[in-house]
Chains A and B, each alone.
Chain A
Amino acid sequence: MFKVSVYVTPKRGVADPQGAVIERALPALGHHGVTQVRVGRYLTLEVPGDDVAQVREAVDDMCRKLLANPIIEDYWFEVTPAGEGA
Chain B
Amino acid sequence: MTAGRVRFGIVVFPGSNCEYDAHHALKTFPQAEPFYLWHKDHDLKDADCIILPGGFSYGDYLRAGAVARFSPIMQEVTAFAEGGGLVLGICNGFQVLTEAHLLHGALRRNRGLRFICRPQYLRVERSDTPFTRRLQVGQVIQCPISHNEGNWTAGADRLQEIEEQGLVVFRYCDAQGRVSEESNPNGSVHNVAGILNESGNVLGMMPHPERVCEELIGGTDGRSIFQSIVDHILEG
Tell me if A66 and B66 are in contact (CB < 8 A): yes
Q: A71-B106, A72-B108 in contact; A17/B187 too (CB < 8 A)?
A: yes
Q: A13-B156, A14-B153 in contact; A69/B106 too (CB < 8 A)?
A: yes
Q: CB of B110 within 8 A of chain A?
A: yes
Q: CB of A82 within 8 A of chain B?
A: no
Cα distance, A5 to B156, chains bound together (Å): 30
Q: Of residues 62 to 114 in B, which have CB atoms within 8 Å of A's CB atoms?
A: 62-63, 66-67, 70, 98-99, 105-106, 108-113
Residue of B nearest to A71 (CB): B106
In the assembled complex, which residues on chain B have CB atoms less than 8 Å from the CB atom of A69? 63, 66, 99, 106
Tell me if B155 and A15 are in contact (CB < 8 A): no
Cα distance, A60 to B1, chains bound together (Å): 43
Q: CB of A52 within 8 A of chain B?
A: no
In the assembled complex, which residues on chain A have CB atoms less than 8 Å from the CB atom of B111? 15, 17
Q: Among the interface residues A13, A18, A69, which one has the most CB atoms of the partner chain B within 10 A?
A: A69
Q: Is the interface of B mostly helix, strand, loop or mixed?
A: loop
Q: CB of A47 within 8 A of chain B?
A: no
Q: Of residues 36 to 74 in A, which have CB atoms within 8 Å of B's CB atoms?
A: 66-67, 69, 71-72
Q: A15-B153, A15-B187, A72-B153 in contact; A66/B62 too (CB < 8 A)?
A: yes
Partner of A71, one of B67, B109, B155, B187: B155
Residue of B nearest to A69 (CB): B106
Q: CB of B132 within 8 A of chain A?
A: no
Tell me if A17 and B109 are in contact (CB < 8 A): yes
Tell me if B113 and A18 are in contact (CB < 8 A): yes
Tell me if A17 and B62 are in contact (CB < 8 A): no
In the assembled complex, which residues on chain A have CB atoms less than 8 Å from the CB atom of B63? 69
Partner of A17, one of B67, B105, B112: B112
Q: CB of B151 within 8 A of chain A?
A: yes
In the assembled complex, which residues on chain A have CB atoms less than 8 Å from the CB atom of B187? 15, 17
Tell me if A71 and B105 are in contact (CB < 8 A): yes
Residues of A within 8 A of B (CB): 10, 13-15, 17-18, 21, 66-67, 69, 71-72
Known contacts A17-B110, A17-B187, A71-B155, then 16 further A-B pairs from the complex at CB < 8 Å, ordered by chain A residue: A10-B108, A14-B108, A15-B111, A15-B153, A15-B187, A17-B108, A17-B112, A17-B113, A17-B151, A66-B67, A71-B98, A71-B105, A71-B106, A71-B153, A71-B154, A72-B153
